[in-house]
Amino acid sequence: MAVDRFPLRENSGPWEAHKVPILLLGLGESLPPVDRSTFPSLVRRSPQNMLNRVVCTVLALASWAVASPLLDARQAGISDSVYDDLVRYTQYSSAAYQLLCLRPLGNTLVDQFSTLGTEGFIARDDDREEIVVSFRGSLSPVDALTDIQIIRTTLNTPGVANVGDASVHIGFLNAYNLVARDVLAVVQNQTARHPKYKLVVTGHSLGGALAAIGAISLQAAHPTVPIKLYTFGQPRTGNAAFAALVEQRIGVNNIFRAVHTFDGVPTILFQALGYKHFGTEYWNFQEPACADNTKKCSGPEDPKCSDSIPSTGINLAHLSYFGQLMALNPLLCV
């Protein structure tokens, strides 16, 4: 049975962001009132993001002028709209680390879940007409124990059938299954009330692995609802059969598996151990983070993308994605 550390629900009345303290990693500082009407645009167009765009434009023009072989070889650049979505769901993934997230990116908090270390939230964006499920990454000793359970087991999660030979990291599977039925029930309620809304599942690090398993679980429960999966610094989660299953059921064009430069977590579970990524990888291959410095890779394990760099495990690149320091911005929750 779920342990409800966060008794906050949609339309919670007195639990307004300006009336309660925002807690960040044990700090009990009360934040001043924030004008929510301007918040989403501020998040998407922060001064740092704008500066990155200017720098990237200058570098792109310079590289064009000298015909840089490096950029030509990487066929760099994605559209601004794809890049903006990567930034947006990075922020949702970062917000999941907060102890309280009353207004994820200024939107409606539907539910915040926590069961034996598996944490996250379900939010609803009425402007974009989407329901977002965000899983928190590693933060506690319990998460570390989850991460090191690298033995694979047959994929067995609520609602998912006909998995063939698909097997997954036993720690990741057990962590998702702790909250699976609660997440499915809340999303079922939301899709019934908002039948035209899309589903987005996201997470960083461990949260990305949980999001991958959660996405196929939610797709099985809602086969007619459009669904997208965004992960950031996600470790390999299962074998080749699992990777193929995710691609088949979610669709490679609906998967955005982002990797920041030399982040070692996505490659730390080696292919020699029977693990394999699914597509589609989006590699932010150099700084600063911007559309021109992000490549859409080919296939699940593109040798010209992040798999070309030997893994160094958890490193500095793992701690930030698309200009967002993961876990450290409480303003994502107001």
Max Cα separation, the chain? 61
Q: How much is the pTM?
A: 0.82
CA 310/CA 321 separation, integer angstroms = 19
Q: Is 94 a catalytic residue?
A: no
Pick the closest to residue 39 from 104, 92, 130 (CA basis). 104
Q: Is residue 73 part of a domain?
A: yes
Q: What is the pLDDT of residue 57?
A: 52
Q: Tell me how many domains the chain contains.
A: 1
Catalytic residue selected from 169, 204, 277, 318 = 318
Q: What is the pLDDT of residue 48?
A: 52
Q: Is residue 112 part of a domain?
A: yes
Catalytic residue selected from 111, 263, 292, 307 = 263
CA 229/CA 135 separation, integer angstroms = 12
Q: Is 318 a catalytic residue?
A: yes
Other beta carbons less than 10 A from residue 39's beta carbon? 17
Q: Is residue 12 part of a domain?
A: no
Contact between 231 and 212 (Cβ < 8 Å): yes
Pick the closest to residue 103 from 83, 132, 82 (CA basis). 132
Contact between 298 and 308 (Cβ < 8 Å): no
Q: Is residue 208 part of a domain?
A: yes
Place of tokens 């947006």: 88
Pick the closest to residue 252 from 285, 223, 215 (CA basis). 215
Q: Is residue 316 part of a domain?
A: yes
Quote the domain boundaries for residue 156. 35-333
CA 147/CA 299 separation, integer angstroms = 25
The DSSP secondary-structure symbol of 238 reads B
Q: Is 263 a catalytic residue?
A: yes
Parallel/antiparallel/unpaired status of strands 118-125 and 130-135:
antiparallel
Sort 23 into a burial class: Cβ within 10 Å, 0-12 / 13-18 / 19+. Answer: middle
Q: What is the pLDDT of residue 31?
A: 39
Contact between 133 and 214 (Cβ < 8 Å): yes
- Domain with residue 282: its CATH number is 3.40.50.1820
List per-block mean pLDDT (blocks of 10 residues) for the chain, which spans 334 residues. 43 36 33 43 51 55 40 68 98 97 98 96 98 94 85 96 98 98 98 98 98 98 98 98 98 98 96 96 97 96 96 96 96 97
Q: How far is CA 51 from the centre of its chain?
A: 24
Q: What is the pLDDT of residue 142?
A: 80
Residue 283 backbone dihedrals phi, psi, to 5 degrees: -105, 110
Query: Count of residues for the chain?
Result: 334
Q: Is residue 25 part of a domain?
A: no
Run of H or E including 110 = strand 108-115
Q: Is residue 24 part of a domain?
A: no
SS3 85: helix
Q: Is residue 6 part of a domain?
A: no
Question: C-alpha angle with apex 124: 29 to 234, nearest 5 degrees?
Answer: 75
Catalytic residue selected from 93, 138, 205, 311 = 205
